[in-house]
Structures are given as C-alpha cells and as structure tokens.
Amino acid sequence: MAKTYDYLFKLLLIGDSGVGKTCILFRFSEDAFNTTFISTIGIDFKIRTIELDNKKIKLQIWDTAGQERFRTITTAYYRGAMGIMLVYDITLEKSFENIKNWIRNIEENAAADVEKMLLGNKCELNDKRQVSKERGEQLAIEYGIKFMETSAKASINVEEAFLTLASDIKAKTEKRMEANNPPKGGHQLKLTESRTKDSWLSRCSLL
C-alpha cells in the first residue's frame, strides 16, 4: 500500500486531570465537543492528516488514558514523541502551578529535543479566570516554548496550536534530514507482516 503521507509525527498531550486534554484532542481530530468523552473507553490516540507547504503530515496524537490522575504516566508513553502539548486550565491555578512538575517529568523521560508548547485551555470561561494570560506567556518564555490560550469548547486556537507545533517539528525534521542524520528506529510488529511462506529451510533441495 502506498504511503499516503510525507511525515508521521507522534504528539502527546500532558497536563493535570480535567484541564481538557481529551476535549482538545476531539476538537482537533473530529471538530467536535462533547462533555461525555471522559467515559469513552478504548481510545488512546487520534489521527488527523494535515497539509503544510504541500507536504502531507499525519499527526498521531496520544492521550494520557487517565494515567496522569495519580501522576503515574508510564515512561513508555514518552517514547518516540516528537511534540508535546502542555495543557493547563486558566480557571484552575493548581493546574498552572503543576506545569513545572510536568516539564520536569518530560525532561526525565522524553527525548531531549522534543518540541513543546504551552496551552491555557478553557479561555471561554473568562469570568472564572484564575491565571492571567501574561503569566502563561511569562512561563512559556521561561522555558523557551510557544504559548496560546485555547478553548476546545468554543473552538478557539486549537487548530492553530497543532499547526504551529507540527510546523516547528517539520522544520526541525527537515533540518536534521539535510544534515543527513535521520533518527534510527526499530521494528513495529504488524499483523500483516507475515513470514514468507515456506521459509528458507523447508523443501530446500539445493544444498
């Protein structure tokens, strides 16, 4: 089967429980918002293909599967991730304070050159705001990453955020490819990848 994309990027969503990671994921991948998503089981990532500079980019966006609830994200979750969306809730001070801890967790487990971006979600709830936009911007500057306020519910900036992150990863990837230093990976087991029928040993009369 021909490859239908030029790049495949694995992205992660990280942040406290309830900041709206799954809603952001669904807004971007399905352009839908539904508060009952939380009970949706069996989904661990979503795929959306976008186009940037005439290149088809397949984004595979992974959700935490609730393992962030007691700060028990597996180290395996971070493997191979090229971009991470750090999400807090602008109506919840604690979720903003915890961003520091999540960044530490990322530094311990993700690749050193992983592209990061900070999102202050639920910006439609301005009357309940606890974290000012300036503080979000300031924190992002501190870590040298980009920042946006988003609303999965009102569909504000979600699309823009993913396009920005994807475009930054694309730039980095292409730079690395020019340097002729592509990252080396392993095999992924595929259902369809079956043994060549009759391996070299059976019915070998040659020798």
Partner 1 sequence: MSDELPEQFDLVVIGTGFPESCIAAAASRIGKTVLHIDPNDYYGDVWSSFNLEALNQLLEQPSPSLLNASYTWHDAATETNWTREALLAKSRRFSLDLCPRIAYSNGELVKLLIKSNICRYAEFRALDHVCMLYNDELVSVPCSRSDVFNTKTLSIVEKRLLMKFLTACADNGEDKCNEDTLAFRGRTFQEYLEAQKVTPKIASCVLQAIAMCNANTSFEVGMQRTQRFLGSLGRYGNTPFLFPMYGCGELPQCFCRLCAVYGGIYCLKRSVDNICQATDSQELLLSSAGKTLRATHVVSAPGYLPGMVCELQPHISRGLFIASSALGSEELNKGGGGVNLLRLLADEGKREAVLLQLSHYSGTCPEGLFIFHLTTPAVSNDPAADLAVFTSQIFKAPAPQILYSAYFTLTTPTNTALSPVKSVYCTAAPAYELDYDAAIENAHQIFSQLYTDAEFLPRAPDPEEIVVEGEDPSALNENSLPEDLRAQLQEMDITE
Query: Which residues lie near partner 1 (CB under 8 A)?
Result: 17-18, 26, 30, 32, 34, 36-38, 40-47, 65-67, 69-72, 74-77, 79-80, 108, 184-191, 193-196, 199-204, 207
Q: Name residues whose C-beta falls within 8 Å of residue 91's C-beta, 6 or more positions apart in sequence.
A: 122, 125, 128, 129, 130, 131
Handedness of CA 89, 94, 96, 101 (dihedral sign): negative
Q: Which helix (H) or strand (E) holds 12?
A: strand 7-14
Q: How far is the CB of 146 from partner 1 (least distance, A)?
A: 25
Q: How far is the CB of 92 from partner 1 (least distance, A)?
A: 12
Which is closer to partner 1, CB of 74 or CB of 138?
74
Which is closer to partner 1, CB of 54 or CB of 196?
196
Coil vs helix vs strand at 92: coil
Distance CA 109, CA 78 (A): 6
Q: How far is the CB of 11 from partner 1 (least distance, A)?
A: 14
Q: How far is the CB of 105 from partner 1 (least distance, A)?
A: 12
Distance CA 164, CA 166 (A): 5
Which is closer to partner 1, CB of 32 or CB of 141?
32
Which is closer to partner 1, CB of 105 or CB of 164?
105
